[in-house]
């Protein structure tokens, strides 16, 4: 892999076993395995029931020419019968005798085989819980909250990927103090199509504060093709854990592709009337793609700067017509911490830290709110559900003490 090339799928569990003596068929299968990033073991002239790796390979691809000799082999999952030309009844009889999960006639079905090989090599488990964060108005603090949420998931021991889907946001790697860290940024993935390997994606991204970050470089690229966003988001989600996406307020085609793979959206809304008016338009746009959108209200610095004109979190959520996921006050020391290179949520007693810990303690499977959630912890339902994602309903997440909470511009 060269620094300017996006990665292909990982080879974490060994390659598939290919059993065929048909040279043309073998060339096709090897080409498809290469597209999946897998190096197969090829068996020629296999005797009945003595195929090398038959029991241990993550996937076995059997050519129709060798299938009759393998009908006596031990039954196992993950066998695909492949042939060239037209489908016929004999193929299906061989498939039943082999216990094959699928009959594939090339050249049709090539994309399916690429995905099946990649799944077998990488392993398939539950998709990551994916949270999209979007600002209801300018300067709402969505990027800051996205970083804090990702760091909280990583602190909880979860595999975590933070995706910067806002090309005009300045780069989340900068916000995390890692703009000089080696690793690929978005422009390297602009030509990605089809399938990107989850393991290889992670290895290629900068590692910042125990999580992987896909951000923008300092170049002039301001758009990613929607196909590339779709492929990269799918790869980030495939290996489980948590994925946090920082989304732009104005949705382009790539942002729509990212939203399509989000389980729950968090709309960060300052509780002033003008910000609420802007947030209502953003919410209407986001909900055309993502049904489950929830409000995180963000209070101002304090009563001496006009906070008295702000609405209560419950009233703000009611006016927006959305559930209230939580509320953030104002973290007074955050700008100074960021200037010193500390990431959002680094303050163990800060509201951002409390909010993130409480949020993931509720929505990540098997998680329990960590001890640093304190008395400002989560209620029993910080987020809604979509596709097996976070659970629904319940009380909101609170943060802060005495009216002070966590957010800043960003």
**C-alpha pair distances (Å), 203 with each of 70, 75, 213:** 38, 36, 11
Q: What is the C-alpha to C-alpha distance for residues 87 and 64, in angstroms, rounded to an integer? A: 11
pLDDT at 402: 33
* Helix, coil or strand: residue 368: coil
Q: What is the C-alpha to C-alpha distance for residues 291 and 334, in angstroms, rounded to an integer? A: 32
Q: What is the C-alpha to C-alpha distance for residues 293 and 327, in angstroms, rounded to an integer? A: 15
pLDDT at 46: 59
pLDDT at 364: 75
In tens, the pLDDT along 75-90 reads: 888 999 999 877 678 8
Q: Are 74 and 23 in contact (CB under 8 A)?
A: no
Question: Where exactly does CATH 3.40.50.2300 map onto the chain?
Answer: 17-122
Question: Where exactly does CATH 3.40.50.300 map onto the chain?
Answer: 129-376
The CATH number corresponding to 17-122 among 3.30.930.10, 3.40.50.170, 3.40.50.2300, 3.40.50.10490 equals 3.40.50.2300
Mean pLDDT by 10 residues, the chain (410 residues): 38 77 94 86 67 81 90 84 83 90 89 86 80 91 93 91 90 88 89 76 89 88 86 88 93 92 94 90 93 89 56 91 88 78 82 88 63 37 42 48 38
Domain 129-376: give its CATH code: 3.40.50.300
CA 261 to chain CA mean position, Å: 8
pLDDT at 168: 85
Q: Are 228 and 176 in contact (CB under 8 A)?
A: no
User: What's the mean pLDDT when you consider all of the chain?
Assistant: 80
In tens, the pLDDT along 328-355 reads: 877 777 877 877 878 887 888 888 888 8
Q: Are 360 and 148 in contact (CB under 8 A)?
A: no
Q: Are 198 and 239 in contact (CB under 8 A)?
A: yes
pLDDT at 305: 47
In tens, the pLDDT along 23-56 reads: 999 999 999 998 887 889 998 755 555 556 788 8
Single pTM value for the model: 0.70
pLDDT at 339: 78
Quick one: which of 110, 128, 124, 34 has its CA closest to 78?
124
């Amino acid at each position: 892999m060269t620094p300017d090339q996006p990665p292909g799928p990982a080879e974490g569990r060994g390659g598939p076993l290919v059993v065929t003596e048909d040279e043309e068929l073998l060339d096709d299968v090897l080409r498809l395995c290469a597209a999946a990033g897998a190096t197969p073991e090829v068996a020629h002239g296999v005797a009945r029931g003595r195929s090398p790796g038959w029991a241990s390979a993550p996937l076995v691809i059997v050519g129709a020419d060798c299938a009759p000799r393998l009908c006596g082999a031990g039954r196992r999952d993950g066998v695909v019968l492949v042939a060239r030309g037209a489908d016929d009844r004999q193929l299906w009889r061989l498939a039943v005798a082999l216990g094959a999960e699928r009959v594939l006639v090339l050249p049709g079905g090539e994309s399916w085989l690429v995905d099946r090989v990649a799944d077998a090599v990488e392993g398939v488990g539950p998709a990551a819980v994916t949270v999209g964060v979007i600002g209801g108005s300018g300067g709402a603090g969505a990027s800051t909250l996205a970083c804090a949420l990702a760091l909280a998931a990583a602190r909880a021991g979860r595999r975590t990927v933070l995706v910067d889907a806002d090309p005009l946001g300045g780069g989340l790697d900068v916000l995390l103090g890692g703009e000089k860290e080696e690793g690929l940024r978005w422009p390297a993935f602009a030509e990605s199509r089809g399938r990107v390997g989850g393991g290889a994606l992670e290895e290629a991204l900068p590692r910042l504060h125990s999580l992987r970050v896909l951000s923008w470089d300092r170049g002039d690229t301001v758009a990613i093709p929607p196909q590339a966003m779709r492929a990269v988001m799918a790869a980030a989600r495939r290996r489980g854990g948590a994925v946090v996406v920082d989304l732009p307020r104005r949705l382009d085609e790539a942002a729509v592709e990212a939203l399509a793979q989000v389980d729950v959206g968090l709309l960060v809304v300052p509780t002033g009337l003008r910000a609420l008016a802007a947030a209502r338009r953003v919410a209407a746009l986001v909900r055309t793609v993502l049904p489950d959108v929830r409000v995180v209200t963000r209070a101002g610095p304090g009563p001496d700067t006009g906070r008295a004109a702000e609405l209560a979190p419950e009233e703000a959520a009611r006016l927006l017509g959305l559930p209230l996921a939580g509320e953030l006050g104002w973290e007074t020391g955050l700008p100074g911490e960021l200037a010193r290179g500390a990431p959002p949520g680094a303050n163990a007693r800060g509201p951002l830290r409390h909010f993130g810990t409480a949020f993931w303690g509720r929505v990540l499977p098997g998680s329990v709110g960590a001890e640093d959630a304190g008395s400002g912890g989560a209620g029993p339902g910080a987020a809604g559900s979509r596709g097996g994602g976070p659970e629904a309903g319940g009380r909101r997440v609170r943060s802060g003490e005495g009216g002070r909470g966590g957010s800043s511009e960003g």
